[in-house]
Amino acid sequence: MEAIFAQAIKDTAVLRKSSVPWKLDNPHPQSYYAFDPSTSSWTPKPPSQTQEPTDITKIAVYSWNIDFMLPFAEARMKPALAHLNRLTTALPATTAPVIFLQECTPSDLTTIASTPWIQAHFHITDLDHKTWSTTHYGTTALIDSRLPIISAFRIHYSKTRMDRDALFVDIFLGLDAKRIRLCTTHLESMAFDPPFRPLQMQLAAGYLRQESVYAALAAGDFNAIQPFDRTLHVDNDLKDAFLEIGGKEDSEEGFTWGQQAATNLREQFGCSRMDKVYFCGGVKLIRFERFGEGVLLDEEGEESERIVELGFEKPWVTDHLGVVAEVEVQV
């Protein structure tokens, strides 16, 4: 496992793009796509030009990091998506699902785009790696196709060693078409000095709290492993969904990383609450939960055996649990 991690760090530098069209720390617009059954292809969609009322008043934001360093990306992504399908199809009709994924590889994007239930029910923000700073890995969003999308944009952090960014999608929600801003970000990993996570969250939070935005949610792998990570929400005038429902720091109920990590890493670092949802503005938090525990590769065989040989107790699809926050827009 240590060799895979070392190689991933090397690949990050090698696969970084030398020329990009965006300016760091500034919003850069990007397309989003809808599936056209008549052509069996994804086509770019124009943003909503006018406020579009909808009877949907609730959204459930799912966030999950699917480890990009492990082999057999397709064999791991397919059961992960199947699990998300089961979760999202159980929602009532008045609640729209939004799915954020971190550590996607280009092959993951191909798997996502070729999945029938996603084609039928979601818009997606990425078909390839062109909006990422690297060809290695990045983030993507799946938005319930019933939700009018106003805009999609990324902010690529200047303070990053790992090509991290924040992906934003603005939607209309409710009969009076409130502007809701959704964000996923994969904050800087590990405990480097100087730390970059506070600067990254500060930048993203400024866009969450813009005056034109009625409410906002940010979800992702926040890599919260140091003392300052505990107050990033307070420092940026945001609410932490887990704490808002009565969760306590350092409790097993909150941990999202470690339970499914390689055994030696769990013994070395323990478990932690890396994955979070922050929010602000005119929404009421209905529930916050973890998901994804115990999701395995679909079949026993060489791929499952290889994952276990890397030091895992079971052939889990990823080392993270996901988190979901369901909110209702307030009028």
The residue that leads in pLDDT, 298 or 241, is 241
Q: Which CATH number do you get for residue 156?
A: 3.60.10.10
Band of residue 11 on the pLDDT scale cut at 50, 70, 90: low
Q: Give the separation between CA 294 and CA 314, rounded to whole angstroms.
A: 9
Give the percent of the chain with pLDDT over 90. 90
Domain membership flag for residue 96: yes
pLDDT value at position 7?
56
Quick check: 13 pLDDT over 90?
A: no
Length of the chain: 331
Least confident segment among 28-32, 216-220, 298-302: 298-302
Domain membership flag for residue 27: no
Quick check: 225 pLDDT over 70?
A: yes
Domain membership flag for residue 36: no
Are β-strands 275-281 and 239-240 bridged in parallel, bridged antiparallel, or unpaired?
antiparallel
Band of residue 298 on the pLDDT scale cut at 50, 70, 90: confident
The pTM of this model reads 0.96
Band of residue 248 on the pLDDT scale cut at 50, 70, 90: very high
Domain membership flag for residue 14: no
pLDDT value at position 331?
77
Domain membership flag for residue 24: no
Domain membership flag for residue 171: yes
Domain membership flag for residue 117: yes
- Give the mean pLDDT of 38-56: 90
- Per residue, what are the HEC states of the chain? CHHHHHHHHHHHHHCECCCCCCCCCCEEECCEEEEECCCCEEEEECCCCCCCCCCCCEEEEEEEECCCCCCCHHHHHHHHHHHHHHHHHCCCCCEEEEEEEEEECHHHHHHHHCCHHHHHHEEECCCCCCCCCECCCEEEEEEECCCCEEEEEEEECCCCCCCCEEEEEEEEECCCCEEEEEEEECCCCCCCCCCCHHHHHHHHHHHHCCCCCCEEEEEEECCCCCHHHHHHHHHCCCEEHHHHCCCCCCCCCCCCECCCCCHHHHHHHCCECCEEEEEEECEEEEEEEEECCCCECCCCCHHHHHHHHCCCCCCECCCECEEEEEEEECC
Quick check: 308 pLDDT over 70?
A: yes
Residue-range definition of the domain harbouring residue 236: 56-329
- Give the mean pLDDT of 33-47: 96
pLDDT value at position 121?
98
Count: domains in the chain: 1
pLDDT value at position 47?
83
Domain membership flag for residue 64: yes
Q: What are phi and psi of 311, to 5 degrees?
A: 115, 10
